[in-house]
Amino acid sequence: MSAKSKRLFLVCLSIFLVSCTAGLGPKFSQPIAPETDKAIIYVYRARVAMTGHELPGVKMNGEKIVKMLPEVSYFPMSVTPGVYEFSPQLFGIYKTTTATINAQPGQTYFVQLKVKFGHLELLQANQDEAMAYMATCYMIKPGYVLDSRVIKNHQSSAISGKKLPSTTATQAQSQIQATASSNNLKTPTQQATFSRLYVNSEPEDARIRIMNIGPKFQQGIKLNPGQYHVEVTAPGYGKYTEWISLGKGENRSLHVNLTPKITSSPVKQPVQITNTPSKRVVAIEAPADLSPEEKRYAQMLVSNSPANIRIAAKNIYYRYSYNTYLTNLAEQSLLENYDINSAGKIHIDAMAWLCKALAQSGDTRFVATLSTVAETSHNRKLRGYAAKSLRRLQ
C-alpha cells in the first residue's frame, strides 16, 4: 500500500470512528429502579489504552442486543428473572470471556466490557465500583439497539444539591417504541445450577487459592454448590483462610484485607506544623433522610478497608460531592488514615480519592485538612494529590 493510500485509509477510519462515537446520549447519574417482578442489568465499557477504535457488539443468550458499544458508553436492560449469558462480538480473532447473570426480581446488576489486545472480556462488576466508573459514561445511541428490552431513552438527571428521583423501568421504557418483535425474544427460565466466586484482595496482587479443589482460581470461577477452603497470601502479609459454603446458583464476593506483618523500621522525627486539624474522632450526626446507598457509603468511609474507602470516595467525587454529611465523613477518614505508613497501592489510592472528593465539594472548610496532608504525608504521590486538590479550593 502506498503512502497516499495509507493516509486516505487513516482519514476514512477516523471519520468512521467519529461517526460511531459522536452523539452519545445523556451521562449516567442514578440507576433505574427495577420493577418488583423485573431486574435491571447495566452493561458498560471501560476505557483501555490503545483499544478505543474497536467497536464490539454484545450478545445475550446468543442473540445480539446492541450493534456496538463504544468506549465510556453504557446501556440498561429490563429483564424477567432468569439466567443471562453476555458475550462480546467483534470481527477478527479474539479470545472472549463471557459473564453470566442469575437475575433475581427487584435486583440491579452491572456487567463491564474490557477490550484488550486480542481479548474481549465481559465480567460482573461490583455495584459501587461500577456506579463510580459509570459516572463518566454516556448512554449509547438508540440506533445501536437491537433488543426491545434495552431501555433506549433513560433520562439521567444532572447531579444537584437535592436527591435525584429514581426512574422506573416501565416509565423509561414507555418513552420508546419496541424495535424488535416480542415473538423473536427468548425469556430464560432455567435457573443456574452452578455457583460463582469472586475475591477482592488488598493487596491486589495477592495469591488466591481454593485448597480443596484442583482447578486454579480465577475471578467468577464456576463451582458446584458445597463448601470450599479459600486461602489468600502475599509476601509481607499474614495468611488469610476461610471455609465458605456456596448455595445453588449463588454469586459470592469476598473482600479480603491482609494484615501487614510487623517489621522494625527507623523512627522518624515528628514534623512540627501549626493549625493542624484535630485527628480526634468526632461524632458526625447523620441526617434522618439518608438513602440506603448513602448509608452504605458512610459505613465504607468509617471501615478499616482501603478498598471500601476508595469505592466510597469515588462515588462522593462523581455523584455525592454536594452531600455535606458524606464529605465531612470523608475528611475524618482522611485525617485518621493518611499518615499510616503503608506502601499498599489501594491505601494510597483511597487517600488520594478522599482528597479529590473534598476538593470536588468546593467547601473551603477543607483547606486546612488538605494543607496538612500536602505538607506532612509520608507518601510523595499522596502529597501531590493533596496539593493539587488544595489548589482547587484556594
Give yes or no for a contact between 101 and 86, defined as CB atoms under 8 angstroms apart.
yes
CATH number at residue 97: 2.60.40.10
Residues 150 and 34 in one domain: yes
**Residue 84 and residue 200 share a domain:** no
What's the rounded Cα separation, in Å, for the pair 354 and 113? 27
CB-CB contact of 169 with 151 (8 Å): yes
C-alpha neighbours within 13 Å on the C-beta side of residue 69: 33
Domain containing 230 — which CATH number?
2.60.40.1120
The reply to whether 150 and 204 lie within a common domain is no
In a domain, 131, yes or no: yes
C-alpha torsion angle, residues 57, 60, 66, 69 (rounded to 10)? -50
Residue 14 included in any domain: no
What is the signed CA dihedral for 33, 36, 38, 44, rounded to 10 degrees? 20
For residue 175, tell me if it sits in a domain. Answer: no
pLDDT of 392 strictly over 50: yes
Please name the residue that has the C-alpha cell 464476593: 253
What is the domain extent for residue 133? 30-154
Q: Given a cut of 70, is residue 10 above it in pLDDT? A: no
Q: Are residues 253 and 296 in the same domain?
A: no
Distance between CA atoms of residues 48 and 42, nearest Å: 19
pLDDT grade for 77, boundaries at 50, 70 and 90: very high
Residue 17 lies in a domain: no
Q: What is the pTM of this model?
A: 0.57
Same domain (yes/no): 251, 304: no
Shared domain for 376 and 332, answered yes or no, is yes
Domain-terminating residue out of 126, 154, 182: 154
One domain, residues 303 and 214 = no
Confidence at 31, pLDDT banded by 50, 70, 90: confident
52 within a domain of the structure (yes/no) = yes
Same domain assignment for residues 215 and 114 = no
Same domain, 127 and 227: no
Mean per-residue pLDDT over the chain, rounded: 79
End-of-domain residue from the set 205, 237, 257: 257
The 240-246 sheet, strands edge to edge: 207-210, 226-233, 240-246
pLDDT > 60? residue 88: yes
pLDDT band of residue 177 (cuts 50, 70, 90) is: very low
For the segment 51-75, the average pLDDT, to the nearest whole number, is: 87
Question: Taking the C-alpha atoms of 59, 63, 68 and 70 in order, what is their torsion angle to the nearest 10 degrees?
Answer: -30
Residue 211 placed within a domain = yes
User: Does 269 fall in a domain?
Assistant: no
Query: Phi then psi for 158, rounded to 5 degrees?
Result: -70, 145
Domain end among 102, 122, 154 = 154
Domain co-membership, 144 together with 87: yes
Q: What Å distances lie between residue 200 and 8, 76, 240, 308, 324, CA to CA?
A: 47, 25, 13, 11, 30
Same domain, 248 and 311: no
The domain total for the chain is 3
Residue 2 pLDDT grade (very low, low, confident, very high; cuts 50, 70, 90) = low
Does a structural domain hold residue 355? yes
pLDDT in tens, 211-268: 888 888 988 888 888 888 899 998 888 888 888 888 888 888 888 888 877 654 444 4
